[in-house]
Amino acid sequence: MKKLTIPDIKARKGDESKIAMLTAYDYPWARMIDQAGIDIALVGDSLAMVVLGHTDTVSVTMEEMLHHTRAVVRGTERALVVADMPFGSYNSSIPGAVKNATRFLKEAGADAVKLEGGRNVADTVEAIVDGGIPVMGHIGLTPQTATSLGGFKVQGKSAEAARRLMDDALVLEDAGCFSLVLEAIPAPIAEKITASVTIPTIGIGAGVDCDGQVLVTHDMVGLFDGFTPKFVKQYTQMRESIIEAIGQYRHEVQNSTFPEQVHSFAMRPEEMEKLKDL
């Protein structure tokens, strides 16, 4: 499989075959996502909630994100690997942001990084891009700062707020982002943003007119039981199937029906006789 590159993704702007992106946090999931033909594997800071059990995304650390990014990189051959920069890794200083972004490429093998914010992070984005590191932007609902936004709510519902989002998109494009995630914004606004920028937009709760879509994989396959956002379509309920399988295993162990002979190893009779002599 040919490894996708940043130019490959940018070339999909306006393509009828839209960009498919999913989160991945470890080697097995990265392998499955890659083999299914997903274009971008996002090592999302949603790791904090759906894998590590935190109640928000801000708790995940740089070291944890690097650790999981390495695993995802080992599991992908075709997909572009984008790593979320965790809260605090790019907010304090521009030099610190460039240093942390560099670690994702140099130490973890990621192809690009993603960070949240609009014009407030434009200078940071520009500095990271100038350092040779591709950046994916993220506007609308930004989970790392959801508290200041009033919680996990749709953004850009008023004309003034929508105009700010449209301006943010243009500013981030000018700063050098190669693509933009649009999260939880009205579909008509996402359509306008998509038409106004020359880089691909990837929607999550932003309607069908974006150049691509992304979901948290654990939401999409029904593995996370915390809550299910309105914009998530669950394609299967793996959690229920897994719990059923584990319950069956427990039952068979307790009743000595597992393991069976087929799961066990034999010993030659003559060796058993020797053992008796010993």
State the pLDDT at residue 1.
Answer: 75
State the pLDDT at residue 144.
Answer: 84
Conformational region of residue 176, where left means phi above 0, alpha means psi within -120 to 50, and beta covers everything else: left
State the pLDDT at residue 247.
Answer: 98
State the pLDDT at residue 230.
Answer: 83
Contacts 24+ apart (CB under 8 A), 206-210: 206/140, 206/182, 206/231, 210/18, 210/182
Q: In DSSP terms, which residues pair with 1 in a beta bridge?
A: none
Tens digit of pLDDT per residue, the chain (278 long)? Answer: 799 999 999 999 999 999 999 999 999 999 999 999 999 999 999 999 999 999 999 999 999 999 999 999 999 999 999 999 999 999 999 999 999 999 999 999 999 999 999 999 999 999 999 999 999 999 999 988 766 666 668 889 999 999 999 999 999 999 999 999 999 999 999 999 999 999 999 999 999 999 999 999 999 999 998 778 888 999 999 999 999 999 999 999 999 999 999 999 999 999 999 999 88
State the pLDDT at residue 147.
Answer: 66
Same domain flag for 119 and 160:
yes
State the pLDDT at residue 226.
Answer: 78
Same domain flag for 82 and 187:
yes
Q: What is the DSSP code string of 245-267?
A: HHHHHHHHHHTT-SS-GGGS---
Q: Is 191 a catalytic residue?
A: no
State the pLDDT at residue 155.
Answer: 87
**Residue whose C-alpha is closest to residue 196's, from 165, 175, 219:** 165
Q: Is residue 227 part of a domain?
A: yes
- Please count the structural domains in the chain: 2
Same domain flag for 177 and 78:
yes
Q: Is residue 201 part of a domain?
A: yes
Conformational region of residue 53, where left means phi above 0, alpha means psi within -120 to 50, and beta covers everything else: left
CA-based angle 202:58:85, to the nearest 5?
A: 50
How many H-runs (helices) and E-runs (strands) does the chain carry?
11, 8
State the CATH number of the domain containing residue 127.
3.20.20.60
Assigned token pair, 112: 């690009």
Q: Is residue 1 part of a domain?
A: no
Name the strand (E) or helix (H) holding 236.
Answer: none
Q: Is residue 189 part of a domain?
A: yes
Same domain flag for 137 and 202:
yes
Q: Is residue 71 part of a domain?
A: yes
Q: Is residue 190 part of a domain?
A: yes
Same domain flag for 197 and 268:
no
State the pLDDT at residue 146.
Answer: 65
Q: Is residue 100 part of a domain?
A: yes
Q: Residue written as tokens 């949240």?
A: 116
Intra-chain end-to-end CA distance of the chain, in Å: 57
Same domain flag for 216 and 168:
yes
Same domain flag for 172 and 254:
no
Same domain flag for 256 and 148:
no
Same domain flag for 59 and 187:
yes
Contact 51, 137 (CB under 8 A): no
Same domain flag for 177 and 247:
no
Alpha-carbon gap, residue 173 to 183, rounded angstroms: 17
Q: Is residue 214 part of a domain?
A: yes
Q: What is the residue range of 73's domain?
A: 6-236
Alpha-carbon gap, residue 76 to 30, rounded angstroms: 6
Same domain flag for 231 and 205:
yes
State the pLDDT at residue 210.
Answer: 98
Q: Residue written as tokens 């506007």?
A: 139
* Active-site pick, 116, 126, 183, 191: 183
Same domain flag for 250 and 139:
no
Q: Name the pTM for this structure.
A: 0.93
